[in-house]
Amino acid sequence: MTTLKKGDKAPDFSALDQEGNSHKLSDYAGKKLVVFFYPKANTPGCTAEACDLSNNYARFTANNYVILGVSADSAKAQLKFKEKFDFPFPLLADEDKSVIEAFGVWGPKKFMGKEYDGIHRTTFIIDEKGIIDEVITAVKTKEHANQILG
Could you confirm whether 51 is annotated as catalytic?
no
CA distances from 63 to 55, 140, 143 (A): 15, 21, 18
**What is the signed CA dihedral for 115, 16, 145, 80, rounded to 10 degrees?**
-80
Torsions phi, psi for 91 (to 5 deg): -120, 115
Catalytic residue among 46, 102, 126, 145: 46
Point out the residues that are catalytic. 46
